[in-house]
């Protein structure tokens, strides 16, 4: 028997490969990854908008003080009060004055700056006329810098200082 005349004892048909799997519908793992990415993106967008909205009053107050380069400490502290009213409960902040107000401002900072300058604040807030004394202008500039520092570091309120009466 030669090799060309040999036939296979079983009558087999040729092999047919199955079709390649399609991409649609996606397996559940892909759906989970897509859902995670979409939810994360939405949360990041919401967080960015929330932080921007939360810092709006702070930025406006800083811009207002810095726009008035020669602003007086009394106008600067008034802007600080308005900014504080935007972030803290009105019934707690509106009634504060004098040393209690300065104590509240210090309670929101890690390093107190206002109560130590209580006599200077009293003099500046209740003086009759603006003096041209150079040392007085330097003190005024320091007090305005304290207000800007408070706006930068105390707003928006940190969680540990949220209830300032207990701190």
pLDDT digits (tens, 9 = 90+) for 135-147: 557 777 888 888 8
Does residue 139 sit within a domain? yes
| Percent share of the chain, pLDDT over 70 | 84
Residue range 54-65: average pLDDT?
89
74 within some domain: yes
The pLDDT of residue 167: 47
Predicted confidence at residue 133, as pLDDT, reads 55
122 within domain boundaries:
yes
Residue 3 lies in a domain: no
Is residue 35 assigned to a domain?
no
User: Residue 117's pLDDT band (boundaries 50, 70, 90)?
Assistant: confident
Say if 112 falls within a structural domain. Answer: yes
Look at residue 96 in the predicted model and tell me its pLDDT.
87
Q: What global pTM score does this model have?
A: 0.68
> Which domain covers residue 92, as residue numbers?
56-161
Query: Would you say 143 and 114 are in contact if contact means Cβ atoms under 8 Å apart?
Result: no
> What is the domain count for the chain?
1
Q: In three state form, how does the secondary structure of 97-130 look?
A: CHHHHHHHHHHCCCCCCCHHHHHHHHHHHCCCCC
What is the pLDDT, as a whole number, of residue 30? 92
Q: Which residue has the higher pLDDT, 11 or 134?
A: 11
Question: Which residue's structure tokens are 């004892």?
Answer: 9
> 134: number of CA atoms within 13 Å, CB side?
0
Within a domain: 115? yes
Structure confidence by residue, pLDDT tens digits, 41-52: 999 999 999 999
In a domain, 150, yes or no: yes
| pLDDT of res. 41 | 98
* pLDDT for the residue 36: 98
């Amino acid at each position: 028997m030669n090799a060309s005349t040999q036939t296979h004892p079983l009558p087999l048909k040729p092999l047919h490969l199955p079709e390649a799997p399609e991409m649609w519908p996606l397996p559940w793992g892909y759906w989970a990854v897509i859902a995670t990415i979409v939810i994360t993106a939405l949360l990041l967008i919401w967080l960015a908008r929330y932080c921007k909205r939360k810092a709006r009053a702070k930025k406006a107050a800083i811009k207002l003080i810095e726009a008035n380069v020669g602003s007086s400490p009394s106008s600067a502290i008034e802007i600080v009060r308005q900014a504080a009213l935007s972030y803290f409960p009105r019934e707690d902040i509106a009634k504060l004055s004098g040393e209690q107000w300065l104590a509240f401002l210090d309670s929101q900072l890690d390093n107190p700056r206002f109560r130590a300058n209580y006599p200077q604040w009293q003099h500046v807030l209740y003086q009759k006329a603006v003096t041209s004394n150079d040392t007085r202008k330097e003190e005024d500039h320091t007090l305005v810098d304290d207000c800007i520092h408070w706006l930068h570091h105390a707003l928006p309120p940190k969680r540990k200082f949220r209830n300032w009466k207990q701190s």
